Each structure stands twice: as C-alpha cells, then as structure tokens.
Amino acid sequence: MANNDPKTEKLLSKITKQDELKNRKLMAAMWTILTTNAIFYLGTLYLAIYTLKEGILLGTIICASTLVFVIAAFISLKFEVDAGYYECKNCHHRFVPTYKEALMAMHMSTTRYLKCPECQKRSWSKKVMSK
C-alpha cells in the first residue's frame, strides 16, 4: 500500500469526498425531517386543541399526529445511524452502531452514550462524517 500510484491516490480521495458528501446530505435530510415534523406536530396539536373542545375527533387527531411524529423520529434515527460514524471518546475508534444500539442509547442531539467495539468502554461518542 505504500507504493500507491497517483491515480489510485486521486481515486481514493474522490471516493472519500463522495462518501462524506453523502453523509452530510443524509444528516441534512434528518434535520429537515425532524424540524418540519415538529412544526407540523405542534401546529396540528395547537389547531386541534383550540378549535375542537372535546370529542372523539380531537382524540383521533392527537393520536394520528403523534403516530406520524413517532414514525418520522424513527426514520430520522435511521438516517443518523447510516450517515457517518461515531467516535469513541476514550480510544478515538470510529464505528457504526446497530440501529437498536443507537435507539436504546442516551443521547444529546447526535452525541450518543455507546459502547465502543474496540475498547469495550461506554462513553459519549460524537458523530463524525468521515473515517
């Protein structure tokens, strides 16, 4: 690998840039889905609560909008897991957790409390775009 020719180096650099661009687009899509979904959810609740005082229609609207909100949150999490890597705070190993690990982990925005597969320690792993 030490004797890579310039064409190979250029190709690897191009592939890395394309991967990073794809990851950034996935993260942008995730934030777009979350933001528009939160605005839709809060707007729907506000309109439903202040226009309908009580009844089965109010309950149906609240349940349906909550279901849409939860589904969009799960889709956004899938985008987050698929985009980029998480970097261990202890050993700086970059890894991709399973969807279940990311779902069950405590988090603050895109930083999650995950177990590193390299050092086997739990830490607050930050989201990074490239390996």
Q: 23-79, pLDDT tens digit by residue?
A: 889 889 999 999 999 999 999 999 988 888 788 888 899 999 999 999 999 999 999
Domain boundaries, the chain: 1-83, 84-131
In a 13 Å sphere around the CA of 19, the CA atoms on its Cβ side amount to 13
* 6-51 and 56-82 helices, crossing angle to 10°: 170
The answer to whether 119 and 90 have CB atoms below 8 angstroms apart is yes
Q: What pTM was computed for the model?
A: 0.78
